[in-house]
Amino acid sequence: MDYDWKDTFHYTQRERRGIFILATILVILLFVRSYVWIEQPSPTDFSSFKKEILEFEKSNNPSTFEDTISGRQLFNFNPNIATKKELVQLGIQTNIADRIIKYRTKGGTFRKKQDLKKIYGLSEELFEIVSPYIKIPSVKSSRPKPTKFKKSKTTLRPFRFDPNLVSSKELVTMGLSSKTAQQIVNYRNKGGRFYKKEDFKKIYSINQEQYQQLEAFILIKAPAKRPSNKTKFTPKPYVRTPPKKVDVNKDREEDWQLLKGIGPYYAKKIVEFREKLGGFSSIEQVGSTYNLPDSVFQKIQLHLIYSPIFRSISINTISPDSLSQHPFINNRQAKAIVNYRGNHGPFTNEEAIAKVKVLSREQLALLKPYLRYE
């Protein structure tokens, strides 16, 4: 029997139908596989972008970058009283912390969290980090609430009495409280007199119900007559005591308290600020004391006298640590000044210090009275 190669590629109708069905199944499987296993897009990686931001911030603030990123300690704080050290521990840059302290020194107050955004240079990112830890106590109104006297629930047991002579014990026997009885006695001891029944209403704690129960029993046997206008009365001459004069750089806390509006708290704040400065360079500088209201300073200003500062700064010999203790210079500025002095020699005048370019014109003006060039 001869072999014909065409028989190899010849299929019966049943075989062709099977091949068609198999091919259809394969196509369906390929389509389903590509649909089910389609590759999902991977999330965008921002790590390199964040790294570049950190490098940029580090290059712009090389002296404070480590303070704000590493070693951060988050805790509750009140920006109105937090120290510079506490602010830096929170991750706030030293120059921003100095601005916060300076803002408070000039009388600024943070009344709500968002007020911290007023500080120039405080980034939105840093504010969001420390915002949950800002705790500013709410200031409630100190206005006293009017006292409401409740109606007497007990019936008084009055008897005839002269309010100018009755004792506190007898008043209590009538059913009045010991407090009310003492108020009546104090009123008489201070020169008060009851000239008619209605005068008994002057007693603050006697309410209308109590007065109605007592009215019929009030008997003023020998009412004292009111002083007549014709009565000769020679008043003692009034001698006006001159107000106390306070030396801003010499007097103690006790002397400051003699001024109207200055109590122990403000007196202590003023003296502490003066000691840190080395003395006030002018009377007006007293008004920069932390938390001292301008209205209070305006009242006492006329009663202040000035004497020279008692401690100055030898700018050519002082160490960085000592220099940074002055309220107008921070640690970074002190180091920069001393380093510049070591590289360029002693300072001879204010213009020489200005070349360091770490102090603003305002700071130079504030420091000028305290600097010595020896």
Kindly state which CATH superfamily the domain 246-305 is placed in: Photosystem II 12 kDa extrinsic protein (1.10.150.320)
The pLDDT tens digits of the residues spanning 158-173 come to 888 888 888 888 888 8
CA-based torsion, 95, 275, 108, 88: positive or negative: positive
- Token pair belonging to 193: 């007199």
The residue ranges of every structural domain in the chain are 47-133, 153-232, 246-305, 313-372
Assign domain 47-133 one CATH number from 3.40.50.720, 3.40.190.10, 3.40.50.150, 1.10.150.320.
Answer: 1.10.150.320
- Write down the mean pLDDT value for the chain: 81
Q: How confident is the model at residue 55 (pLDDT cuts 50, 70, 90)?
A: low
CA atoms within 13 A on the CB side of 298: 3
Most confident of 40-54, 176-190, 334-348: 334-348
Q: Which residue's entry shows tokens 């972008």?
A: 49
Higher pLDDT, 284 or 62: 284
Residue 83 vs residue 154, higher pLDDT: 83
Give the pair of three-digit tokens for residue 348: 């001879």
Cα–Cα–Cα angle for 232, 238, 242, rounded to 5 degrees: 175
Between 134-143, 178-187, 292-301, the lowest mean confidence (pLDDT) is in 134-143
Mapped onto helix, strand or coil, the DSSP state of residue 324 is: coil
pLDDT tens figures, 94-126: 999 999 998 988 888 898 888 888 898 888 888
- Examine domains 153-232 and 246-305 and report if their fold is the same: yes
Distances (CA, A) of 65 to 71, 119, 168, 360: 11, 18, 74, 22
Model pLDDT, residue 338: 92
227-276 pLDDT per residue, tens: 555 555 566 665 545 567 899 999 999 999 999 889 999 999 999 999 99
Residue 66 confidence (pLDDT): 42
Give 225 or 354, the one with higher predicted confidence: 354
Q: Rounded CA gap, 38 and 265, in Å?
A: 74
Mean pLDDT of the region 67-86: 78
> Radius of gyration over alpha carbons of the chain, in Å?
43
Please tell me the distance from the alpha carbon of residue 175 to that of residue 177, in angstroms, as a whole number. 6
Report residue 191 as tokens: 């020169």
**Torsions phi, psi of 65, nearest 5?**
-60, -45
Whether 26 shows a pLDDT value over 50: the answer reads yes
What is the CATH superfamily name and number for domain 153-232? Photosystem II 12 kDa extrinsic protein (1.10.150.320)
CATH class of 313-372: mainly alpha
User: What DSSP line would sit under 193-249, residue for residue?
Assistant: ---SGGGGGGSTT--HHHHHHHGGGB--SSPPPPPPTTS---PPPP-PPPPPPEETT
Q: Is the dihedral of CA 19, 21, 22, 23 positive or negative?
A: positive
pTM: predicted TM-score of the whole model, two decimal places: 0.37
Q: Say which residue, 244 or 352, is predicted with more confidence.
A: 352
Instruction: Note whether 19 and 27 are within 8 A (CB).
Output: no
**Which of 314, 368, 274, 86 lies closest to 323 in space, CA to CA?**
314
Summarize the confidence of residues 218-225 as an average pLDDT: 68
Please check the confidence at residue 42 and state whether its pLDDT lies above 70.
Answer: no
Average pLDDT over residues 208-214: 85
DSSP H helices, 90-221, are 94-105, 124-130, 168-174, 178-189, 208-214
| Choice among 8-12, 88-92, 358-362 with the minimum mean pLDDT | 8-12
Cα 283 to Cα 302: distance, rounded to the nearest angstrom = 10
